Structure 1
Amino acid sequence: MMITSQAPIGIDSFSGLIGTLYQGLEDDIPWKQFLRQLQDTMGAKFATFILRPPSHELDGLILSTGRPTQDAMASYNKHFYALDPFVGVPSGHVVTLDEFIPEHERESSEFFRLYLAPLDVYHIVGTDIITPDGATCSLRISRGQDGAPFAADDKALLKMFIPHIERAVKIHMQLNRIETERKLYAGAVDQLAVGTIILDEKGKVLQTNQVAQELLADKDGLKLVNGTLQVGSSRDTLTFRQMIKHATEALHHHRPGVVEALRIQRASGASDLGIVVRSIPSADWNEGKQQPAVVLFVSDPDRKSRAPQEVVKALFDFTPAESHLAMLLANGLTLDEASEELSISRNTARAHLRSIFSKTGVTRQTMLVRLILRSVATLG
């Protein structure tokens, strides 16, 4: 978009606002700073962005500058949005409230008297934007009764931002979907009791999941020293670093991903940790420091399965007693140990186990353990 000398804003100011708009994608609540700057630039009382309009099922996702009270925002969500006459603006068009509804009709409306007037909102200019994937968002800029009505240059300024706002919303939606998927898969790995540690090509730790954090906190076979991972003995650490080197070299030479494994003894005498090292293929146009290069998967045989008993019960049609017994067996207890844990006789435990075998179609305890641990129950 060309900005001429007659444009309502200079190139530096426009570039600064656009930079703030896209920078807002990295914030927990996007675009707060952009709205504040836009409010100041337009000499407004409020700048309000509605990413999701309110509905009977959901409150709106609304961000506003100035000082609208929480009660005012809540009442707009619950009641006044249905009365708001300034909705349904054609996508990409910029209009003022005066153009949208005559002044005499506005001042006699319940929406103006009970909602806008107490907030000293008298002049409004706005636009609605419908993205290609169907998201509808609204931007409203408002001034008080003492402020000047919005004019043609205000509308021209707002229109300059429409393609960028649409693009920013689209990117925001894509990033949200990616982050949701990432959390979903990370949660699934946590439930499987597998630790994951992501390293850069220098071997520095970039990210860990909950299981890995707990293992690192134990400092038993795994520990962090100045951001660098050390495993087992000094010899184990040397072997591990060599594995990291192989993985990163494969990336640099565009060879197939390297997968290597290592067993680590623990000083406490607990069961050995199993570690698998895999290289992480990078995107073609990805560059810069601290890029993910290697992922470690860490298994601890002593960690108990976290499969919820209610999920196990529903999956296999177990009774509560049967699901308790099945989970104890899946976590490595013998039948005698499980019966003692449940305070039941061995004969009762054997009766439960026969019923469990009948419902699952397995004939041995080892097969039952494998069935439960490989089922979706561990993702519950």
Structure 2
Amino acid sequence: MNGATSATTPTFELQQIDRLLGAIYEGPTETPPWQSALQLLREQLGAAHVTLMLRPPSPDSTGVMINTGPVTRQGIESYETHFFSLDPFVRLPEGEVVTAEELIGRQWLQSAVYLEYLKPLGIRHLLGADIYTKDGIECRLRVTRAHDARPFSDEDKALCRFLLPHLKRSIQLHARLDFLECERSLFAGTVNRMLLGMLSFAQDGSLIETNQEARRILAEKDGIWLSGNTLCVDSSQESRELQRMIRSALADANASPPQDGGETEAASVVEAMSITRPSGRAKLGVLVRAVPLGPWSESKQRPAVVVFLRDPESNAAQPSQELVRRLFGLTRMEAQLALLLAEGYTLDEAAEKMNVRRNTARTHLRSIFCKTGVTRQTMLVRLLLNSVLTLG
């Protein structure tokens, strides 16, 4: 096979190529990624193993490897902790696909990595290629065959060479998706720490996702709960208002976006209301926000509306005293007092909880004022609540 398919390529080969390319581009959505593509390549090449090292091992890290074919935990650990340093395939030129014999000659069969690692595993033939991206990613593709198998042919190498640019593009897509997932997880964790419930709805009004705090609030069924995809509210008047807000937000979100990439007016459409709780507890705060279509949006399962829930009686996890100390330069006792005041305790109540005299607590408070630059207790509480402590 040459570097590209031609009009004379048999149909079954074109079908194989189509399956391989499809699996490569679907690889970033798999767990582990590219498992299907590597398995298809293994079958196509009649290989014992096909391995993709997303992050090659190093003296500081064991790396990340995706393996197909029979492997053992001991074999993987042996490579990650020792034999990676003896791997003859190091920094291969971009797009080059070579066998071990082509790379280092006949002495390959006398090398330590072959005699001590590969041969005991029943591996005789080794094919390798490296992939580099402009973002600094370095991946390694390795293909093996057993002792009783034929050597890798020019056609085998041509197939790998043809697939390499596609695998590289897919790896770049995976890196981008991984970045977005890390960012999403970070923001989702921050929202959870702020005790903000969140539900997202698709364009057709179907529920897509709820976060931990939203599930907690809805599970209590105290004034509001979830029935299928519908938010149900005890008060009929409040229920009608909430459904109106959601329908209005969906209409705004589904409005055609400008093709110049500018923002629509729907981006600023926000409505809010309160939900009465039969238990007598403080009312829940509800905010509905439209998520406008982007200029190139096409998925009908993207969030179109987000509903935020806030329980004013929820108790957020208290920041650690160590964080308060580091942020404001306070002593241990000063940090404890500051946190108690932020929780709503009076100075006398805080002194009692700390088991100190009121005058001692007042002395600590004066020191806190001096270090933080505030002059009143209310200013101190506002400073703490508006600081990065809530993100910890």
Q: What's the TM-score, normalizing by structure 2? A: 0.91
Alignment of 1:64-143 (within 5 A): 64-103=67-106, 105-143=107-145
Find the counterpart in structure 1 of residue 261 from structure 2. none
Please give the residue correspondences for 1:317-336 in structure 2 after superposition, counting only pairs within 5 Å: 317-336=329-348
Aligned residue for 2:52, secondary structure, equals strand
The superposition leaves residues 117-164 of structure 1 with CA deviations (integer Å, 9 ceiling, x where unpaired) of 011111112211112322111111110110000011111111121111
Alignment partners' CA distance in 2, 1:243 and 1:195: 17
Please tell me whether the aligned partners of residues 254 and 292 of structure 2 are also in contact (alpha carbons under 8 angstroms): no
Q: Is residue 51 from structure 1 mapped to residue 54 from structure 2 by the alignment?
A: yes
User: Following the alignment from structure 1 to structure 2, what is the Cα–Cα distance between the partners of residues 236 and 250?
Assistant: 21
The answer (yes or no) to whether the contact 2:195–2:316 under 8 Å persists in 1 is yes
Partner of 2:156: 154
Indicate yes or no: 2:327 matched with 1:315.
yes
Specify the code of the residue in structure 1 equivalent to 2:387: S
Deviation at 1:288, TM superposition (A): 3.7
Q: Which residue of 1 aligns with 2:178?
A: 176
CA deviations over 1:269-316 (Å, ceiling 9, x no partner): 222221221111222222243321111222222223433332112111
Q: Secondary structure at the match of 1:207?
A: strand
* Compared CA separation, residues 289 and 167, structure 1 to 2 (3 A): same
Distance of 2:375 and 2:207 partners within structure 1: 45
Among 357, 367, 376, the residue aligned to 2:379: 367
Query: What is the distance in 1 between the residues matched to 2:229 and 2:184?
Result: 23
- Residue identity opposite 2:343 in structure 1: N
The one-letter amino acid paired with 1:350 is R
Q: Deviations over 1:11-53 (max 9, x none)?
A: 1111112112222211231011211111111101000111111
After superposition, the CA RMSD in angstroms is: 2.0
Q: How many residue pairs get matched?
A: 379
Counterpart of 1:203 in structure 2 is 205
Question: Tell me, which stretches of 5 or more residues in structure 1 are unaligned?
Answer: none
1:10: which partner in 2?
13
Are the equivalent residues in 2 in contact too, given 1:305–1:373 (CA < 8 A)?
no
- Contact 1:204–1:229, Cα closer than 8 Å, also in 2: no
1:274 is aligned to: 285
Residue 215 of structure 1 aligns with an amino acid whose one-letter code is: I
Match of 2:265 among 256, 261, 280: 256
| Counterpart contact for 2:203–2:254, Cα < 8 Å | no
Q: Name the SS for the 2:265 alignment partner.
A: coil
User: 1:229 and 1:277, CA in 2 relative to 1: closer, same or farther beyond 3 A?
Assistant: same
Correspondences of 1:228-243 after superposition (within 5 Å): 228-231=230-233, 233-243=235-245
For residue 16 of structure 1, give the secondary structure of its aligned residue in structure 2.
helix
Q: Tell me, in whole angstroms, the C-alpha distance in 2 between the residues paired with 1:219 and 1:308.
A: 32
Is the contact between residue 205 and residue 250 of structure 2 (CA under 8 Å) also seen in structure 1? no
Deviations 1:184-216 (A, max 9, x none): 111222222222221223433212222222222
Q: Deviations over 1:26-83 (max 9, x none)?
A: 1231011211111111101000111111112222211111122112111211111111
> 2:97 touches 2:161 (CA, 8 Å); kept in 1?
yes
